[in-house]
A and B are shown apart, each in its own frame.
Chain A
């Protein structure tokens, strides 16, 4: 009797387990308690056209849910057979663990790191990540900088404006390239022109009458004259590209538009048993949320003397020469954020890879109404940056030269000017998040920042203090 009674029980259990294992994604996926991310696939198709505000807000909500989600193995978290590389790359040996602190995946959620002072923000030192190309040393299990570069987590507030600025600057630089080529061809002689976009100088470009371009004198920008405004190095073109890279590196969630069968021959390139983990519509939702995060603001704490100090500090900020790189604002022509964008290359969708792109009108959002504008109606994006890369070390001051690896053709001591908006909400500082005070990170500026740093160092303590007071007014208010 016992055995007779048990057998059906075992069979039933097996049946249940079979159902769970075999089709958990479909049978149980819609249950409120299902161990998967409900927001995945919530957007069936990529959005197109100019989105009305209600549609935009719905898309943003989906994007936020994805950003906050804790991806699970039922979603496809983990990449046992793929490395963190941006180019789809097979791992030499499959990995058993889902998470791995150094080479990744190192987080179940975007928000696990981007959370200071709110979701989408920066991360403390504990949220540092390890940047490695993932080709030759994909399995590094050491914190030794010869294998990876340890980086702090940047905040994403105002990121949509940053990408729009970068697009406009790229277009300006490429237009200059067109001009110099036209002039050289028309005149039958070499022509050299300064490269400047939104008042930021990027060196010179020279063209020969035969259509050749000499790139030896470029400064702080890639040779294709695309401003890549994201990451500490300034090596990522768009939020879309950044999202796809990060989803793979940090979560092992592989977007089809990079890791799918079109480019790899497999719908499950990472070999975790889950196909088509992140659709292009999912990426669009993530981009929409990040692109519409409000810009950081200035806010003076209600403490005696702070306002006056901040005012003096702002003047000093200019006087010391900080604004040479940390430009207080850059003018932006349009608040229409197109996704996919114009400058991504295959592997990240661009506007030539889709039938119709979506346009998110940032001006529909309440926070955008408070953005300052100039007399021409252009938005003055108060980012305190120049979207340009600079050498940050010299023979005396080399604290920011601690990395041993170059990244994507950018030498190890070169970084993009950190945008200082929100700096009051995102300590610690520096690309490794290992400067606990603003004073320390200022004094760590060598190379192109040396002159301003020395001016600061030589200033009276009161003036330094005022500068700190000013910087601390640049905060994120979610």
Chain B
């Protein structure tokens, strides 16, 4: 993230970015033949009215959490408000119908819900009720979830101090043998340090629970140096089964900093991968991390949002095994998304939340990027619409935000790509700075008679048992014909936004799929045979998958 605009060095990058990818983008517009989903904005009608507001501390952040808080499996929402209190919404959408949410009064003090930048759902105590980690300007708040969307403050019961930092990022994973999750907290600028804000990045934190029957995070570790993190993600980048911690950092405020990858090897303190190990120095205005695995080889790719070019990092084949050396394939895939695709503003874009998903159910991976000027930075696009980069059969991305209907004049921040009305087509929620949040319903593809459904899909929910019931860290492999698609269940990444619930996979014209699961402890399941267009529940140890159905209307 960048607050100031005196960027001579950046202008060179900008010019380079502007000159190179234009051809690729123009070419990318020509050959897209799959469905373009029509995303209809209906936040107000759906009952959602929440803006992310505040001074420069809230130029960053602006996240949301999507999770089921009342047991009906419909994704509910918590939306950060910055200087305004966060809002909770219960999902009352009809299956396949208009989106509808109802405001939830949690009974929590407005003071506790104010100053929130981001939110991540996580079942910390394994009780099958999602808890919430609310990232704040100041003491982070942990809410223990209960039945029927009841929440209570749990910093004390979980022995989580919450600190006093300006927290902007979070990720969690169940490390091997641990009953409770390890939580990484990404922090931004230390506002109390001399010389702040430049060169005064707050260290990040690692919370490991002490052994015991209840979560006890009373002995946090410091991950130092911190370089003003805006997104963190536990990721198994080299398919070892042991995730490391990737952090994207905002070069605006660090000095001598870079992107980071922490080695989370067992039995020793985390340590940064170094250049001698293959980690190459990269300095960007890192805002968000998204993970996918285009070719399902177990070696994930990452989208890193920034100002100007978006990066898509792929492990360099020539770097040698187990060396975290990446090359940027964003240009060759037509996904730099470096400036607005409509509106005529030729200045560079500012990217925030990024998320891979199959939004048109054609089996090709799509990429959503929330865009928006930091506040009023003159060197960057003022009208900076969110990107909907649809993956084409040419293995390139094609910008379809305009056609889809998401090219609004808002300053996007965090986002959730989720099927809110359980029709198998992914909808989109975007938190906007100083503007009501956007909620887009996926209507399907436009035709001359209305909208038609997109391709086939399957949505999968895992049950890992007593510990880590939501199976965070699992890998889901979905096979149709000769194609394999994978999804990793993760908590973290994006921009200050997290989600849990069914994992969506587009199936195109496939009528059925075979699913295998690599559970968090590394064990592979037997194959589960399922039919398309079903919500599937896979319970560890059961022979057959179950299906789930929303309440009939």
Contact = CB atoms under 8 A, between A and B. Distances in A.
B546 A258 contact: no
A85 B35 CA distance: 22
B544 interface: yes
Interface of A: 85-89, 133, 135-136, 177-178, 181-182, 185, 210-216, 222-224, 226, 258, 261-266, 345-347, 352-356, 408-409
Nearest to A218: B544
Given A214-B546, A215-B546, A346-B361, A223 B530 contact: yes
Contacts of B511: 86, 345, 347
B34 interface: yes
A265 B398 CA distance: 13
Contacts, number: 115
B105 interface: no
B199 to A, nearest CB: 49
Q: Which 4 A-B pairs have the closest CB atoms?
A: A265-B393, A347-B509, A355-B449, A261-B33
A186 B482 CA distance: 43
Contacts of B447: 355
A131 to B, nearest CB: 15
Interface string B534-553: 10010000011111111110
Contacts of A89: 481-482
Contact of B547 (A85, A213, A258): A213
Interface string B424-448: 0000000000000000000000011
Main secondary structure of the interface of B (DSSP, over half): loop
B512 A408 contact: yes
Given A87-B481, A265-B31, A409-B529, A211 B509 contact: no
5 contacts: A182-B552, A211-B72, A223-B545, A265-B33, A354-B452
A224 B536 CA distance: 11
Nearest to B483: A87
Nearest to B506: A346
Given A87-B480, A210-B73, 10 more contacts: A87-B508, A185-B551, A211-B551, A215-B545, A223-B547, A224-B534, A263-B508, A345-B533, A352-B452, A356-B449
B394 A265 contact: yes
A178 B95 CA distance: 14
A223 B531 contact: yes
Contacts of A182: 552
Interface residues of B, number: 48
B546 to A, nearest CB: 5
Nearest to B445: A262
A263 B362 contact: yes
A389 to B, nearest CB: 14
Nearest to A228: B511
A211 B544 CA distance: 16
A226 B531 CA distance: 10
Contact of A211 (B34, B453, B508, B549): B549
B551 A222 contact: no
Given A262-B35, A265-B34, A265-B393, A211 B543 contact: no
Interface in B499-516: 507-512
**B393, B482, B509, most chain A CB atoms within 10 A:** B509
Most chain B CB within a 10 A radius of its CB, from A135, A212, A213, A266: A212
B181 interface: no
A473 to B, nearest CB: 38
B450 interface: yes
Contact of B71 (A88, A210, A408): A210
